[in-house]
Structure 1
């Protein structure tokens, strides 16, 4: 694709008004993980019109790999809501039963690498602020779907993908290689990526690119190609199984699961740090017991660990499992372990990271290339990245700066929507350099 940087930026800037309308439409109609019916149809319809090969439903989602899938009642309610909001049934139907998401492929006229971009679709289960001073309220694009809101900026990410998609479609005849656009469900639940990998969504991908907004890059035009501290995460439900008995009459016959849970909690929180990197552990919930005078026959703990290195992550995993088993043994309890969520620590490919930084320095839309940015959160993009890297490909996760009122995951998030154009320019220029330079 032989196009100057200036013309690339001007062409993308010309899309801004349309992109802003798309973003505000999606912002008004948010849906969370495995319920992103409206966004799925919205995206698929446009990509189909632009000449992409569209894959949906079971072709891109392995149903059994999903976590925390809503019940049938909520699935139907949100499917019907998407229809009410105007979703095209043709593109909605493949997503029935929570098989949301879209993968779109565009093949250039000339041979070249396969470059994949990932964008997330889901919102948060929270209520958006209706404060009259907020732009979303004043300009009437606040969420109309009670209890759901795009307060992490995934609507921004989705529309960045659409801007990029239209740009590539308009330059298809000049393009080398293959473009794959992955619009992923359930990033917040950290199971969208793991449900796409078994279906081959990132097989034979040479380069995988993803990104996000950041609360602590508060200037439009800031950009970080080097993302650090993308934390590995693991979440379990542990069930300690005891024996009920009368707490006064026959306490010797009981096995108190709550005592095991209490001992486990204290010792889990006392795990020593690992020297290789940041590690965090949290017991977020304990539940158990039946009444005042019954020895608790069951207790459940929700435990989470996060770590910035594989060494620290493996160490925490080993210590958690050992402590839970020791607590169970101490009180003669059974132990059931259910792994709920797992995502890996992020590792950018150095070559692709360097290329992204070079692109940031080339673009006039980018005002500052930050040396590195600590994410200090978890992202299931890392599962896709690990799969690509394991097959010999490269991946990078980048961060885009914008003023963010309220902060990510707050009820009053506001962003500068021009960040969509900045991000699309980064991604489009990376494709040019990967296929020509």
Structure 2
């Protein structure tokens, strides 16, 4: 590790920025989605250990009861071995075996002060990345090496940003007042990683928690939004209808058609009256049923989600969805199973944090524009951490950092201006100093 001590945060972070670009590109080459982020887990853990952080891993940071939609054993084994083959040391990986991915790093200062947490998500998307030369990762040799998985949301940049910030604190440990805690969180895309960490009490000691995202609605490098709002509350469910098979021509009367029940439910879910006090959403993303032409399907499986501009609006959507699902089961004489699969809540940044962060951003040369407000208009499971900290008397802040996103989030051609890695780490470092009075 090259040392850059006794410099301003901006200078220290700029000094290590080229390394951070290489970290981001290494992570981009080996993307893995929710509960399979073995490469990112080992990559982060090794660096934090080298820099003197105390590590928490595996079931110490992930509650098994909150580990929703775990992958198959076959996938877990495949991706675990893939990470080792890619160069990850198993001693940093073994605690994550079984899908208990993620890393928490803790660094204590010698001076009294608050406990400040920083959260960075590490999971990739189940998307095939573009392979033509118009896509920069192809031209510059860091395109995804895992077919069907790719960092098409920017979490590789978030992880690199977190590591760059962590290195700054490691090199300036004498300036830390209290404790800094880094939460490298798995499974943001499926929206249950934050709850699995919160359930282990990992944010209960925090006086402040900070997180953020690159891109979203800010498409210019150097933009920042600290007044971020309109996080949509969300509920996801796995739904299974069970019926009775029968020959579709000879004795259809003896069958109980699970597919027909599911279709009845889907049609009526989309007919839910939208709430009059704010945005509300419903979507069925998957429906599987049937085995062949002439057999009445005895099982139908679907995945659905509801969203609301507030927690109350989402709860209205959930209640109506349950009524429709149960009604369809009764209509077609089916058995119904509903399993919660993920949730996120609507919350707000702490006003004092917004006010302070505007002052910080105004004095950073890398910030070219402070966008007055940014409507997130989607769901983000960091809100679970924010709410927990705020309910215990702490304060929370979610920031959006501007960068072009080229093809757009979750598309095959997504990419970023890597300068945003430096800009984000710099902002968080200076924000920390403002919070502790450095």
Task: Specify the TM-score bucket, using the shorter chain as the normaliser.
Answer: over 0.9
Evaluate the alpha carbon distance shift between residue 23 and residue 297 of structure 1 in structure 2; reply closer, same or farther with a 3 A threshold.
closer
Q: Which residue of 1 aligns with 2:275?
A: 274
Correspondence list, 1:167-186, <5 A: 167-186=168-187
Q: Deviations over 1:229-285 (max 9, x none)?
A: 222221112223333444455444443333322222222111111122211111223
Return 5+ residue gaps in structure 2 as ranges.
Answer: 1-6
Question: Could you list the per-position Cα deviations for residues 76-122 of structure 1 after superposition, in whole angstroms to 9, with x for gaps in the alignment?
Answer: 22222212211122212222222211101111111111110000111
Cα 1:227/1:292, change in 2 over 3 Å: same
**1:417 Cα offset (Å):** 0.7
After the TM superposition, which parts of structure 1 deviate over 6 Å for at least 4 consecutive aligned residues? none
Q: Please say if residues 111 and 176 of structure 1, whose CA atoms lie closer than 8 Å, have aligned partners that are also in contact.
A: yes
Verify the 8 A CA contact 1:276 1:309 in the aligned structure 2.
Answer: no
1:381 Cα deviation from its structure 2 partner: 0.8
- The aligned runs of 1:17-416 (5 Å cut-off) are 17-416=18-417
| 215 and 382 in structure 1: CA distance in 2 versus 1, 3 angstrom threshold | closer
For the residue of structure 1 that corresponds to 2:117, the secondary structure is: strand
**Taking structure 1 as reference, are residues 84 and 214 closer, same or farther at Cα in structure 2, changes over 3 Å only?**
same
Secondary structure of 1:404's counterpart equals coil
1:156-205 CA-to-partner distances (Å, cap 9, x unmatched) read 00011111111111221122121000011111121211221222211111
Distance 1:107 1:157, change over 3 A: same
Q: Distance in 1 between matches of 2:371 and 2:311?
A: 25
Mapped to 1, the partners of 2:98 and 2:252 lie a distance apart of 48
Taking structure 1 as reference, are residues 250 and 145 closer, same or farther at Cα in structure 2, changes over 3 Å only? closer
> For 1:293 and 1:148, how far apart are their aligned partners in 2?
36
Q: CA deviation at 1:365?
A: 0.8
C-alpha change, 1:292 and 1:126, in structure 2 (3 Å) is closer
The offset of 1:145, in angstroms, is 2.3
Q: Structure 2: how far apart are the matches of 1:335 and 1:90?
A: 44
Q: CA deviation at 1:367?
A: 0.7
CA contact (8 A) 2:216 2:376 kept: no
Output the CA distance in 2 between the equivalents of 1:104 and 1:118. 11
Structure 1: how far apart are the matches of 2:314 and 2:232?
9
**Partner in structure 2 of residue 10 of structure 1:** 11
Do the aligned partners of 1:210 and 1:397 also contact (CA within 8 Å) in 2?
yes
TM-score (norm 1): 0.94
What CA distance in whole angstroms lies between the structure 2 residues aligned with 1:422 and 1:303? 37
Change over 3 Å in CA distance of 1:414–1:331 after alignment to 2: closer
Partner of 1:415: helix, strand, or coil?
Answer: coil
Could you list the runs of 5+ residues in structure 1 that have no partner in the other structure?
1-5
Classify the secondary structure of the residue corresponding to 2:142.
coil
Q: Secondary structure at the match of 1:12?
A: helix
CA separation of 1:360 and 1:147: change in aligned 2, threshold 3 A: same
CA distance in 2, matches of 1:17, 1:247: 65
Q: Structure 1 pair 97/135, CA: closer, same or farther in 2 (3 Å)?
A: same
Deviation at 1:291, TM superposition (A): 4.7
CA separation of 1:419/1:331 partners in 2, compared to 1, >3 Å: closer, same or farther?
Answer: same
Q: What SS is found at the alignment partner of 1:424? A: helix
In 2, Cα distance between the equivalents of 1:94 and 1:248?
54
SS at match of 2:342: strand
- The alignment yields a C-alpha RMSD, in angstroms, of 2.0
1:3 aligned residue: none
How far the C-alpha of 1:344 sits from its partner, in A, is: 1.3
Rounded Cα–Cα distance in structure 1 between residues aligned with 2:30 and 2:335: 45
Residues of 2 paired with 1:287 and 1:99: CA distance?
Answer: 28
Q: Contact conserved, 2:216 with 2:400, CA < 8 A, in 1?
A: no
Contact 1:221 1:366 in 2 (8 A): yes
